[in-house]
Amino acid sequence: MNMKKEQFQEMIESVKEGGRILRGQQSPSRVFKYSALDIKKLRADIGVSQEKFAHMIGVSVDTVQNWEQGRRIPRGPARALLRVFEENPKAVVKALG
């Protein structure tokens, strides 16, 4: 894969922006929040159990249950992966299924 200089610079700026956000020096330009119903719907849309879904994305079944029952919200890499699931579930199932 060949990355052009412009794309590389955009990626570098994105990483720097992420660092500023993590340090509290900048607010994120957008925030993705998932409700319990959103998580359950994402899982139902691909037709898998909580156990299978948890295994696919590398979290515990308890974590999926906590998300779906609204006791916890996805953070970090899990939230990013759920965003990808939302945009293109077939690609994620193909890659992780």
Residue 10: inside a domain: no
Radius of gyration of the chain (CA): 16
Domain that holds residue 56: 36-96
* 30 occurs within a structural domain: no
DSSP assigned state of 69? T
C-alpha pair distances (Å), 20 with each of 11, 16, 75, 76 = 14, 6, 17, 15
pTM greater than 0.75 (yes/no): no
Q: For the chain, what is the domain count?
A: 1
DSSP class of residue 30? -
Domain assignment of residue 2, yes or no: no
Cα dihedral value 64, 49, 79, 37, nearest 10: -80
> Going residue by residue through the chain (97 aa), what tens digit of pLDDT does each one get?
566 888 888 888 888 888 887 788 888 776 656 565 688 888 888 899 999 999 988 899 999 999 988 888 888 888 888 888 888 888 888 887 6
Q: Is residue 70 part of a domain?
A: yes
Is 89 part of a structural domain of the chain? Answer: yes
Q: Domain holding 84: CATH number?
A: 1.10.260.40
17 occurs within a structural domain: no
Tokens (6 digits) for 49: 């159990």
